[in-house]
């Protein structure tokens, strides 16, 4: 338990700052409760020494009344403490989860690739829950338990100094056991959480890939792999459980031995008339109060241990700087001023100005040393359509993902509308650039809600226009409730082609200057694909459109076609030029159009 403990405490506990009042009141009420509990053994002692030895029934009933009163006051205090502790803990977890979510949204794709989705989910859910119960229990017990332990010891001293020395020996012994177990288990709890991540990761992959797994008859293998990661988790948990389980028997032995010693010493002293019978009972009561409290303290410490392990994991995410830093507002203003001056002069003079410019751009994914893109340079003007073609894995998606700065170019620079992408705020840049990602993802909500993602104020007419351009009119008209048709999570109640068309419509509603379609027509039939291209041509004059495709037919009318192979641009030009000059392009074309067909056309 070195610095990370305090580091995490500081970082994580700052989320309690709106609940200062509750965080103080809860332990205070718990202390009050403890004070009333500590009085109880004294009342019982009086009952024995005065009421029972004198056979005074009235006195006994009166003391019983006092006991009930103490119990009721204690209960009220306990409930109040519980209320405030729960309020603080839940509020704390809400804020922490919110901050975590907001931070994750800021992380770049490269960061998310590296951390992994399943661990982020565990951190946002189970880890935060663990922290929540940690905070709850700490508020309730961290003052109360030590207070009762030491309070009981002090009360014992007021009863009899000699007998109380037993407490002085027992309490440090108990503390050694409790803290020893804690120090051993902290690192293990970290391992538990890691193993849980892997089980969750496996589960996720399995559920989302269920169809593929069945299609390939991989159930048995998947089950075995799941069992393996599950067993790892079980083993670590068993180990932690066994060590923690030692704590209770060991503490119980210490406390019971201490009780025996108290009774043994006490008996002698009662015989000598130094203390009364009631006082011996009070001492035994104090010892058992200490035991109960130590068991609670031990559980609290286990909880804290888990919470710290979880807190570390949460703090890791919060501490992680987004690898793509968004430009600060002050800087942005400076850049904006300069560029407004420049832009005003230049604006009208070039109508067909450069929209997207790559200058010797190279890029490698964090996890790999090989470059996914090498030395790419090109210029795309307003009103142009750029086709990008190449085999799978040739770097097409990588290239277009650099334009909205999903990933940061390693070498070279990328300019959008005359300004380096790094000089935009991410919001500004992504307003200018609309992307239809290769993987069509829709969210739970109506069609209209999904389409309004890029522009919340879009009118219904604008939606229908976008839908028409994306060739999805029939799809929407075919649904009973039209635009209000509910799309399930991930769009799973739509076909692949329908999903693709809606993602295109969604990008069109945003009305961006640069529109990127990353293999967005792959699930469309040739006729619909052709209609889509014709529709896009009608809006192409004011925009720059990137069409990524594996089909030459999708891009052959583009103003500029970039042919990629292994991250290199092996050809650049129009369809006709490339057919003449570019071997790779010709091969792709030939493989898609039978030779004879070409022969006929040429001949
Ligand atoms: P395409 O879109 O042309 O099929 P990509 O641009 O997706 O190809 O991929 C280009 C290369 O980069 C491939 O070799 C692929 O393995 C690698 N790659 C793609 N995405 C990632 C990623 N997130 N992390 C690491 N490598 C990646
Ligand atoms: Mg791709």
Q: Count Cβ atoms below 10 Å from residue 154 Cβ, excluding itself.
A: 14
Q: Which two tokens stand for residue 360?
A: 């010797």
pLDDT for position 238 = 94
Q: Which atom of ligand 1 is nearest to the CA of 401?
A: 6
Task: Tell me if 359 sits within 8 A of 543, measured CB to CB.
Answer: no
- For the chain, residues classed under CATH 3.40.50.300 are 333-602
Q: Which two tokens stand for residue 41?
A: 């053994």
Whole-angstrom CA distances from 180 to 144, 175, 230, 287 are 21, 8, 28, 22
pTM, two decimal places: 0.75
Q: Tell me the CATH class for 4-319.
A: mainly alpha
Q: Which residues line ligand 1 (CB under 6 A)?
A: 113, 365, 367-368, 372, 390, 392-398
- Ligand 1 atom 20, closest CA: 398
What is the 3-class SS of 365-395, one letter each residue? CCCCCCCCEEEEEEEEECCCEEEEEECCCCC
Give 393 Cα–ligand 1 centroid separation in angstroms.
5
Task: Tell me if 21 sits within 8 A of 62, measured CB to CB.
Answer: no
Most informative mutation of 373, 397, 408, 570 for ligand 1 (most atoms within 8 A of CB) = 397
End-to-end CA distance of the chain: 82
- For the chain, residues classed under CATH 1.20.1560.10 are 4-319
Least distant ligand from the CA of 367: 1
Gyration radius (Cα) of the chain, Å? 36
pLDDT along the chain (603 residues), means of 10: 62 88 93 92 91 90 94 95 95 94 90 86 90 92 87 88 86 84 81 85 85 88 92 93 86 88 88 88 88 80 82 88 74 59 51 81 86 92 92 92 91 90 88 90 91 89 92 89 89 89 92 92 87 89 91 89 92 92 90 62 49
pLDDT tens per residue across span 222-270? 999 999 999 999 999 999 889 888 888 888 898 889 889 988 988 888 8
Segments in 209-218 forming alpha helices (H): 210-215
Q: Which atom of ligand 1 is nearest to the CA of 396?
A: 3
pLDDT for position 41 = 92
Q: Which atom of ligand 1 is nearest to the CA of 113?
A: 23
Q: Which two tokens stand for residue 518?
A: 């990353």
- Ligand 1 atom 25, closest CA: 365
Give 73 Cα–ligand 2 centroid separation in angstroms.
69
Q: Which two tokens stand for residue 519?
A: 């293999």
Give 243 Cα–ligand 2 centroid separation in angstroms.
50
Handedness of CA 386, 390, 392, 397 (dihedral sign): negative
Most informative mutation of 107, 108, 365, 522 for ligand 1 (most atoms within 8 A of CB) = 365
**CA dist., res. 12 & res. 16, Å (int):** 8
Task: Tell me if 297 sits within 8 A of 141, measured CB to CB.
Answer: yes
Least distant ligand from the CA of 374: 1
- Ligand 1 atom 26, closest CA: 365
- Ligand 1 atom 14, closest CA: 393
Give 210 Cα–ligand 2 centroid separation in angstroms.
23
- Ligand 1 atom 12, closest CA: 372
Torsion-angle region of 148 (φ positive above 0: left; ψ -120 to 50: alpha; else: beta)? alpha
Q: Count Cβ atoms below 10 Å from residue 435 Cβ, excluding itself.
A: 22
pLDDT for position 553 = 87
Least distant ligand from the CA of 564: 1
Task: Tell me if 523 sits within 8 A of 474, measured CB to CB.
Answer: no
Q: Which two tokens stand for residue 335?
A: 């850049």
Q: Which residue's structure tokens are 């506990």?
A: 13
Question: In CATH, what number does 333-602 get?
Answer: 3.40.50.300
Q: Which atom of ligand 1 is nearest to the CA of 109?
A: 23
- Ligand 1 atom 8, closest CA: 393
What is the 3-class SS of 290-307, one letter each residue? HHHHHHHHHHHHHHHHHH
């Amino acid at each position: 338990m070195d610095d990370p403990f305090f580091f995490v405490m500081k970082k994580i506990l700052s989320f309690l700052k709106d609940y200062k009042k509750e965080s103080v009141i809860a332990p205070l009420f718990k202390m009050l409760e403890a004070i009333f509990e500590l009085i109880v053994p004294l009342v019982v002692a009086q009952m024995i020494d005065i009421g029972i030895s004198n056979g005074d029934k009235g006195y006994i009933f009166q003391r019983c009344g006092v006991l009930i009163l103490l119990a009721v006051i204690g209960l009220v205090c306990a409930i109040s403490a519980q209320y405030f502790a729960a309020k603080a803990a839940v509020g704390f977890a809400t804020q922490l989860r919110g901050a975590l979510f907001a931070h994750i949204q800021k992380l770049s794709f490269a960061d998310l690739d590296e951390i992994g989705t399943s661990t982020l989910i565990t951190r946002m859910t189970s880890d935060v829950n663990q922290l929540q119960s940690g905070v709850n229990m700490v508020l309730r017990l961290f003052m109360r338990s030590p207070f009762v332990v030491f309070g009981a010891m002090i009360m014992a001293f007021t009863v009899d100094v000699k007998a109380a020395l037993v407490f002085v020996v027992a309490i440090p012994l108990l503390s050694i056991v409790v803290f020893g177990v804690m120090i051993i288990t902290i690192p293990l709890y970290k391992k538990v959480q890691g193993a849980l991540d892997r089980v969750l990761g496996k589960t996720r992959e399995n559920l989302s890939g269920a169809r593929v797994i069945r299609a390939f008859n991989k159930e048995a293998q998947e089950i075995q792999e799941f069992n393996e990661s599950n067993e790892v988790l079980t083993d670590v948990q068993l180990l932690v459980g066994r060590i923690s389980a030692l704590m209770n028997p060991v503490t119980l032995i210490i406390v019971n031995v201490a009780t025996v010693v108290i009774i043994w010493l006490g008996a002698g002293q009662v015989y000598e008339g130094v203390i009364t019978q009631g006082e011996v009972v009070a001492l035994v009561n104090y010892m058992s109060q200490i035991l109960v409290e130590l068991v609670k303290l031990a559980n609290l410490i286990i909880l804290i241990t888990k919470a710290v392990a979880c807190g570390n994991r949460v703090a890791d995410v919060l501490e992680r700087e987004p690898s793509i830093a968004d430009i600060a507002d002050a800087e942005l203003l400076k850049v904006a001023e300069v560029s407004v001056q420049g832009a005003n002069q230049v604006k009208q003079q070039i109508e067909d100005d450069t929209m997207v410019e790559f200058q010797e751009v190279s890029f490698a994914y964090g996890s790999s040393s090989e470059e996914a893109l090498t030395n790419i340079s090109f210029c795309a003007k307003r009103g142009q359509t750029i086709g990008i073609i190449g085999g799978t894995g040739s770097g097409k998606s990588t290239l277009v993902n650099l334009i909205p700065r999903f990933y940061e170019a390693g070498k070279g620079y990328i300019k959008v509308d005359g300004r380096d992408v790094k000089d935009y705020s991410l919001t500004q840049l992504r307003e200018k650039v609309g992307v239809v990602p290769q993987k069509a993802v829709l969210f739970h909500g109506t069609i209209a809600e999904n389409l309004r993602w890029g522009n919340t104020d879009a009118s219904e007419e604008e939606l229908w226009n976008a839908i028409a351009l994306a060739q999805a009119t029939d799809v929407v008209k075919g649904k009973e409730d039209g635009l209000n048709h509910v799309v399930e999570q991930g769009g799973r109640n739509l076909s692949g082609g329908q999903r693709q068309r809606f993602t295109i419509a969604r990008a069109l509603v945003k009305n961006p200057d640069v529109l990127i379609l990353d293999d967005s027509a792959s699930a469309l039939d040739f006729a619909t694909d052709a209609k889509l291209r014709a529709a896009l041509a009608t809006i192409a004059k004011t925009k720059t459109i990137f069409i990524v495709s594996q089909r030459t037919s999708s891009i052959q009318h583009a103003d500029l076609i970039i042919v990629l192979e292994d991250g290199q641009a092996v050809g650049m030009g129009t369809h006709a030029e490339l057919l003449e000059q570019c071997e790779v392009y010709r091969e792709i074309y030939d493989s898609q159009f039978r030779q004879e067909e070409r022969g006929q056309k040429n001949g």
